[in-house]
Amino acid sequence: MRGGLTPLPTKAIVFDLDGVLVDSFGVMRQAFTVAYREVVGPGEPPFAEYSKHLGRFFPDIMRIMGLPPAMQEPFVRESYRLADQVRMFDGVPDLLHALRAGGFGLAVATGKSGPRARSLLDGLGVLELFDHVLGSDEVANAKPAPDIVLRAMELLGVGPDETMMIGDAVTDLASARAAGVAAVAALWGESDPAGLLAAEPDAILRTPGELLALCRGGSLA
């Protein structure tokens, strides 16, 4: 693992959404709890296990956990209902404006559906800062497959040596590597730092502002 990517001729940045741009962990917990109790019934919703699979498409997580696919409908319903509780991480809006002013191509590649991701970012007033926002329902294979990152690069008109992917889950890093782009770990959310570090990302960001230094060829310790 390198402390930085120096030099790196970055032209485009692909972001994961939850845990990188927005703090949605509390809303996810509430939505998952409601969905579990509506579909499965009483008992403690296994949110801790669910959180280990963040970055993946919700139906894929249900399959991995052996939970009913029918949980998706109430989960999505509650996520929309509670969307006004989601906030951007400190420093992210300034970061996005600076990257946009710097001429970087910006995309989102999320485990959410595309319509839900775009609705959320629109409600936060930052949708127009991104060239493209892609959801897992808009590619053939969701993360950790490379499809969503490859599609983002295709739309942005850039190659893998010009692109980095910022994620807070091992799934994000795996998708980035499979697409041949730099895999960068974001540590400011609810992610498991030990798991991310064990995945040996190409760079580690502890605050959103550090990304500017990385894009400008700075070295991050």
How many CA atoms within 13 Å lie on the side-chain side of 126? 23
Give which of 143, 86, 152 is closest to 120, Cα–Cα: 86
Known catalytic membership, residue 16:
yes
- Nearest one of 144, 130, 140, 137 to 54, comparing CA atoms: 144
Give SS3 for 47: helix
Question: Is 18 known to be catalytic?
Answer: yes
**Distance (Å, rounded) from C-alpha 173 to C-alpha 127?**
24
Cβ(165)–Cβ(214) under 8 Å?
Answer: no
Given the residues 18, 147, 172, 202, the one annotated as active site: 18
Name the β-bridge partners of 12: 105, 163
Residue 145 CA, distance from chain mean position: 14
Active site residue ranges: 16, 18
